[in-house]
Structure 1
Amino acid sequence: MDLFADAIAWIFSPEAQSGSLPLSEAIWTHLAFTFVSVLIAAAVAVPAGWLVGHTGRGREAAVALSGAARAVPSFGLVLLLVLVFGVTHKVGASTTAFVLLAIPPILAGAYSGVEAVERRVVDGARAVGMTSRQVLGKVEIPLGLPLLIGGLRSATLQVVATVTLAGYVGSWGLGFYIVQGIQIRDFAQILGAALVIVVLAVVLDLLFALLERAVVPHGVAARRSAD
């Protein structure tokens, strides 16, 4: 309990709010890495996932990619890309690693959301004269949004945790305090930074959970309530 008290005290201490990397700046940097990486990953994975779910083409490759991504060691990927990009491009290398880690869950959420739409609903839309593009845009995408948001939720939580590794290759984010704390054996600082990361993850998870519920179409929500 003393260690937890010391960790809480460190979070609100003047030394954490000053120095070469103030805690507030580290939090914003951590979130910036997270949001930029997820946005770039979404720009790539969402259209690809919708196309796979709508046409069925490339589904095996998408499933294999999503499964294989779970076996990729995050730390190893970050270090590998830093070596490939060069030490002068650590920000770009780290961001690329986070984007690559975020793509599979977003891709899975996008294509599974479209695939999950009942075929009778799709057939009904085509029966009233909707084109393939209209079926995708007006039926499959809206009904598949909850699963897509779930994929974004999973990717965001994975990235917000993995951004901590940026502290090993540069003085960015909350991982900086963990690496520094290990070096100087300041366990209160290590735990304090870890607690802040946990809080960020919990807050983001709650926000995505609310968004996931909000995007459920009213008709679907009403039918679920009736069931």
Structure 2
Amino acid sequence: MMASLMAGAVRPGRSVKRSVSIWELLVWAFQREKISIEFDELSRLAGERPGVGMEYILMQRHNLGCSVDGGGRSEPHPDADLISSALAALPEAVGGRRMAVWIASLAQSGRWPEVDCQPEAKCEPATVRRCKHGVYAERSFWSGDGIMHRWPQSQLGKNDGYVCLVRYTGTARDVASQRRQWLQWWSALLELRTTFQIRGLSAFEVTDSMPPMAPWNSGGQ
């Protein structure tokens, strides 16, 4: 699912704040401002003290007025730096660093996590082969897998003993995994939305708008 991107060629100004959703804000920061997450900044600003959360890091950002070195390009917007810091300090309760990296990757591509709103169980060949006549399921001689024994060689003909290995997709386990990942991602966005609504940004006003919490309940959007 492709998320909508914010339009406009001019950087947000400081006089009038633009109302955006938390997802639009993340996409702007990673696509337009091209920020990255600096996890080492946590120890630098927090003085190597454990247990320092997102709120403390953002306050230090405001107090110091500092920004991450842009590496030879123009410095990112101050709000983009705050977004980077907030992601780097994302609490473990909503995924921590692993979730922060995932959110950054999704925002860079402008896509939401994959979730099948109308799952359908399928049985497909594990591997296929292609030739001039088309695509065919690949077969192999069955020699056993430790659970099912191979066929007795003396009872097999010239073309007997071959199998086509298959895999199942769209199973209940696959659906549950996708939905669990979606809800974790959604919870992390909610945490970030709350943070920026409380702390505030210089150029943006974060609205209550969020991606659907459970898109599978309405058949997907």
TM-score band, normalised by shorter chain: 0.3 to 0.5
Richer in strand (by share): 2
Richer in helix (by share): 1
Q: TM-score, normalised on structure 1?
A: 0.32
